[in-house]
Amino acid sequence: MGLIVQKYGGTSVGTAERIRTVAARLLATQRAGHDVVAVISAMAGVTDNLIKLAKEIAPEPSARELDLLLSTGEQGASALTAMAVNALGGKAVSLSGAAAGIVTDGAHTKARISHISPRQIQELLAEDYIVIVAGFQGQSPDGAITTLGRGGSDLTAIALAAALKADDCQIFTDVDGVHTCDPRVVPEARKIDEVAYDELLEMAGAGAKVIQSRAVEFAKKFGIGFEVRSSLKDEPGTKATAAPSNLEDWVVRGVSLERNQAKVTISGVPDRPGCAGKIFTALAAANLSLDVIVQNASSTGTTDLSFTLNKDELALTQRALEPLVKEIGAAGLTASMGVAKLSVVGIGMRSHAAVASRLFACLGEAGVNIQLISTSEIKITVVINESDLERAAQVTHAAFGLARPHMPPPSA
């Protein structure tokens, strides 16, 4: 007994058949004694089609109008889901983000939620309605429809769970949870039962896209527990909390992989204030998002600066940097494709210096050359050749005993 928020992604509502399945699950949840709020994404493909149409009409569509256009995808899918619940004999109404009381700032296409007034939802719940809320959208204080950025329905669900003080928030998707590694690469990878927000953030950043990062940040900020689970099965998924109950047992929670990377190195950068600033200002101006930035300590008056980025953005990056290399007096610019990132992530890692040595040792034994290393408090990332990625993932997964549940932490 309690209030449950369930979020369904575009694949989960991608056909009439699937919408009926979602409706049946919502009804079953209500009949089990719960109040139910559902957050619905646009049907798979709809948002992409609308964006395509907008770009045909205007190369750079007005952000205000783009929000009005894109918000219709979630509104339509929500109305269809409510119809499906009603057709099964239930009682449902759908609400746009605005009608659900989701108030955002006025930053069209990337609005931030400022507050939620859930009065209408609460009144409808009190009348035994299943309340279906269009995800990904809200309304600015001056009444304009806004959207929350790609994947924004996750944020809608977490924020509604917070505003409604929900007892549970379930993010239904087409995978059955967060895994210790990509099962297509490491067959013995297994579903993780519990994960810390920070671990999920690091994993999401490193390519495990089960939930929008902003939604996880929001959950962390307000302490909203949620569960990522499959809309196709009826099995527990992965629960995200501040500190998983089995924290002590685990050092490394999972291994994240990211392909399609490129590595750029600017060599011989004069080691004086402002050089790095100029470089990253130029890259930010070109709207490029970098990752794994490494600068070696300098002893010779110059230093090498490396970073990785998505390989699709390499050409743009080179165009942005080439004039700058001369200007700051660097020695040169080298770029390579065919690299990948492997990260081990775990909140328990903070107190275990042994994790790094174990990682480097197992990769070394497997003959995998490490090109760059970057660490955060709960993550160690290595940049390696993409051709080495599968082998590296398998040996790392084995070295940290991730295939066996509840293995004791490795000792150095």
Q: Cβ 251 to a second copy, closest distance in Å?
A: 48
Q: Total residues at the site for a second copy (CB under 8 A)?
A: 35
The reply on whether position 124 binds a second copy by CB under 8 A is: no
Structure tokens at 406: 């509840």
Q: Which residues pair with 94 in a beta bridge?
A: 132
Nearest-5° Cα angle at 304, 301 to 307: 150
**Closer to a second copy at the Cβ: 57 or 407?**
57
The reply on whether position 72 binds a second copy by CB under 8 A is: yes
The reply on whether position 128 binds a second copy by CB under 8 A is: no
| Of positions 86, 109, 213, 385, contacts a second copy by CB under 8 A | 86
The reply on whether position 87 binds a second copy by CB under 8 A is: yes
**Closer to a second copy at the Cβ: 18 or 214?**
18
d(C-alpha 328, C-alpha 259), whole Å: 31
| Of positions 24, 44, 51, 99, contacts a second copy by CB under 8 A | 99
The reply on whether position 76 binds a second copy by CB under 8 A is: yes
| Of positions 27, 39, 82, 269, contacts a second copy by CB under 8 A | 82
Q: Cβ 37 to a second copy, closest distance in Å?
A: 16
d(C-alpha 29, C-alpha 72), whole Å: 27
Phi, psi at 68, each rounded to 5°: -60, -40
| Of positions 1, 56, 234, 406, contacts a second copy by CB under 8 A | 56
Structure tokens at 49: 């089609």
Q: Cβ 337 to a second copy, closest distance in Å?
A: 34
Residue 62 one-letter amino acid: S
Q: Give every CB contact of residue 213 below 8 A, 6+ residues apart in sequence.
A: 201, 204, 205
Structure tokens at 57: 């009409």
Q: Cβ 64 to a second copy, closest distance in Å?
A: 7
The reply on whether position 37 binds a second copy by CB under 8 A is: no
Q: Cβ 140 to a second copy, closest distance in Å?
A: 12
DSSP 8-state class, residue 66: H
The reply on whether position 69 binds a second copy by CB under 8 A is: yes
Contacts of 286-294 with C-beta under 8 Å, sequence gap 24+, read 286/316, 286/317, 286/319, 286/320, 288/313, 288/316, 288/317, 288/320, 289/313, 291/205, 291/261, 291/341, 292/341, 292/372, 292/374, 292/381, 292/383, 293/374, 294/372, 294/373, 294/374
Q: Give every CB contact of residue 254 below 8 A, 6+ residues apart in sequence.
A: 178, 179, 180, 181, 192, 195, 199, 203, 208, 344, 345, 346, 402
| Of positions 32, 53, 284, 331, contacts a second copy by CB under 8 A | 53
**Closer to a second copy at the Cβ: 119 or 184?**
119
Which window, 54-62, 200-208, 312-320, 357-365, contacts a second copy (CB under 8 A)? 54-62
The reply on whether position 39 binds a second copy by CB under 8 A is: no
The DSSP result for 147-212, as a single string, is E--TTHHHHHHHHHHHHTT-SEEEEEESS-S-BSS-TTT-TT--B-SEEEHHHHHHHHHTT--SS-
d(C-alpha 77, C-alpha 11), whole Å: 11
| Of positions 64, 110, 112, 190, contacts a second copy by CB under 8 A | 64
The reply on whether position 27 binds a second copy by CB under 8 A is: no
The reply on whether position 243 binds a second copy by CB under 8 A is: no
Tell me the per-residue interface mask from 2 to 21 with a second copy, x by CB under 8 A, - otherwise. --------------x--xx-
Which residues contact a second copy (rule: CB under 8 A)?
Answer: 16, 19-20, 50, 53-54, 56-62, 64-66, 68-69, 72-73, 75-76, 78-80, 82-84, 86-87, 93-94, 96, 99, 143
